[in-house]
């Protein structure tokens, strides 16, 4: 039996959120295949930690890394086998909630060995994790050469030692052809891709 943690990071209202429909569909297929697995959700909208941004004051007095906001969530990662991480593109990157979360769990000697020792020589300290990244973006893939939130997430989770499953990136959610579709209807277009990924994960 595996323990799965679904980390949701979209600021879009659940019923209107395409990334929420995407993760719901993924989990539906995952559950069918892995009926005994334990699945928990961390919705970053609802936790104080993810709403706190690192700044001069809280970094300097170390309160940003207090155990309730940092160690607790690192511990959570140590106690699960798989992560499903969901993020829409927001101004060419992951959401601010997602970034705040990563800032709290990317801690030297806790989730990776020291990163400046030698290029490429850092060691991820969460090698037990397997991560499925699910992303959405309003524009078609490649429109913004400087923004690839999917790749950023793959690199970041790989940095902490996780094995990365092939990501699903649903692009063009804001295109005219998708504008009249409900999130579920848009996700229907990707149903087979999602099913295959969920069964493999």
- Footprint of ligand FMN on this chain (CB under 6 A)? 10, 12, 17-20, 88-92, 136-139, 147, 173-174
Q: How far is the CB of 131 from ligand FMN (least distance, A)?
A: 19
Element at 39 (helix H, strand E): strand 38-43
Pick between residue 114 and residue 141 the one whose CB is nearest to ligand FMN: 141
Nearest distance, CB of residue 157 and ligand FMN, angstroms: 19
What the block records as the tokens of 131 is 């991560």
Q: How far is the CB of 127 from ligand FMN (least distance, A)?
A: 30
Residue 190 token pair: 């990707």
Cα-trace Rg, the chain:
17
Q: Which is nearer to ligand FMN, 89 or 126 (CB)?
A: 89
- Give residues with Cβ within 8 angstroms of 28, minimum separation 6: 198
For residue 64 the two structure tokens come to 């940003």
Residue 75 or 191 having the CB closest to ligand FMN:
191
Say whether 136 sits in a helix, a strand or coil: strand
Where would I find the H helices in 3-140? 18-33, 56-60, 71-78, 96-105
* Cα(124)–Cα(122) distance, integer angstroms: 7
Comparison of 17 and 70: residue with beta carbon closer to ligand FMN = 17
Report d(CA 145, CA 137) in Å as an integer. Answer: 13
Angstrom distance (rounded) from CA 65 to CA 103: 9
**Which residue's CB is nearer to ligand FMN, number 132 or number 173?**
173
| 38: its two tokens | 């334990």
Minimum gap (Å) between residue 200 Cβ and ligand FMN: 22
- Closer residue to ligand FMN (CB): 17 or 100: 17
Least separation in angstroms between residue 72's CB and ligand FMN is 26
| Cβ 21 to ligand FMN shortest distance, Å | 8
């Amino acid at each position: 039996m595996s323990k799965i943690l679904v980390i949701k990071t979209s600021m879009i209202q659940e019923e209107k959120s395409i990334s929420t429909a995407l993760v719901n569909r993924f989990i539906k297929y995952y559950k069918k295949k892995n009926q005994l697995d334990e699945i928990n959700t961390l919705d970053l909208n609802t936790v104080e930690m993810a709403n706190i941004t690192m700044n001069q004051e809280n970094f300097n007095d170390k309160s940003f890394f207090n155990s309730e906001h940092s160690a607790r969530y690192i511990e959570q990662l140590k106690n699960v086998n798989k992560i499903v991480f969901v993020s829409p593109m927001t101004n060419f990157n992951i959401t601010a909630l997602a970034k705040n979360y990563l800032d709290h769990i990317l801690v030297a000697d806790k989730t990776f060995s020291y990163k400046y020792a030698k290029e490429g020589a850092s060691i991820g300290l969460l090698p037990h994790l397997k991560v499925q990244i699910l992303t959405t973006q309003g524009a078609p893939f490649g429109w913004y050469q400087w923004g690839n939130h999917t790749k950023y997430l793959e690199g970041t989770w790989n940095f902490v030692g996780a094995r990365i499953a092939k990501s699903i990136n649903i692009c063009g959610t804001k295109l005219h052809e998708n504008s009249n579709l409900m999130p579920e209807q848009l996700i229907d277009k990707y149903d087979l891709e999602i099913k295959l990924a969920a069964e493999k994960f």
